[in-house]
Amino acid sequence: MDSSVFQPYSVLMSVYQGDKSEYLKECLDSLIGQTVPADEIVLVCDGPLTEELDGVISEYEKLPECKLRVFRLEQNMGTAYAANYGLERCENELIMKMDPDDICLPDRARLQLMFLQDHPGIDMLGGYIEEFKNSTKEQIAVRKTPSDDIQIRRFAKRRTPFNNQTLVYKKTIALRIGGYSNSLRRCEDYDFMVRMLIYGAKGANLPQILVRYRVDHANLTRRRNLKNTKSFIAVRKKIHRLGYSGFWDYVLPCMGQIVLFMMPGFFTGFVYKMILRNK
């Protein structure tokens, strides 16, 4: 498809030594295979990488159709810092977020660009993700998100209103709010989304699956560990102090997170799949 009919866009992602090279390869393949390819893929290496990851990056840098621009940080600075570093170096107004272990469906970019072209007042656009079991590739669940700006703003008081892996947003607004919060090691995406909404950015979500998201034991462990629980509470406290959410909007999700942290791992997986996600 002729990409010239749409506004150019940059893909922004970061990778660190804990990521798997085979997942990064699949991710990059899914970006190259877009029906409307990116004008550039900005990849920030957050500290030294493994030999396998460096090998994949070197391989794809040589592919002209990949349009990969690589930036390297001397030490691991965290997701927020890496995102800000890459954001400043993206050359286009539209920024498409991506994680290095997820897979874009081929039509993701075209669907989002077409919607943004038809709705120029939208500043942030996401969509559904399909969670799949990494070992078998079978679908586990679909995470749905509210569609219009009013629903998104209401939803954001308690939960992340966009699937971060599907987000496309405008660079100028992101820079005006200061980008991602470098003080946060986790949940920085939720904080970023809410500050964008507070600033006045208009949001929307496509009622379609745009990205496939891997789920394995490591994912569930991260969701219920102490660091993630502390970050979850810290971000919601910050949102409450900003005046965006009410008292119960702050307290109830925090109580739920604490309960999940205290429960056995198998119970966390059950709750996440059967209650927190729309199967």
Q: Name residues of the chain where pLDDT drops below 70.
A: 1-4, 135-136, 184-185, 216-226, 228, 245-279
Q: How far is CA 223 from the centre of its chain?
A: 15
Q: Could you give the domains of the chain? A: 1-101 (3.90.550.10)
Which letter does DSSP use for residue 278 in this model? Answer: B
The reported pLDDT for the residue numbered 95 is 98
The reported pLDDT for the residue numbered 181 is 87
Q: How far apart are CA 192 and CA 126, in angstroms?
A: 14
The reported pLDDT for the residue numbered 71 is 98
| DSSP alpha helix (H) spans, 49-184 | 51-61, 79-89, 108-118, 149-155, 171-176
The reported pLDDT for the residue numbered 199 is 94
The reported pLDDT for the residue numbered 55 is 97
The reported pLDDT for the residue numbered 239 is 78
Q: How far apart are CA 62 and CA 68, in angstroms?
A: 9
What is the three-class DSSP state of 59? helix
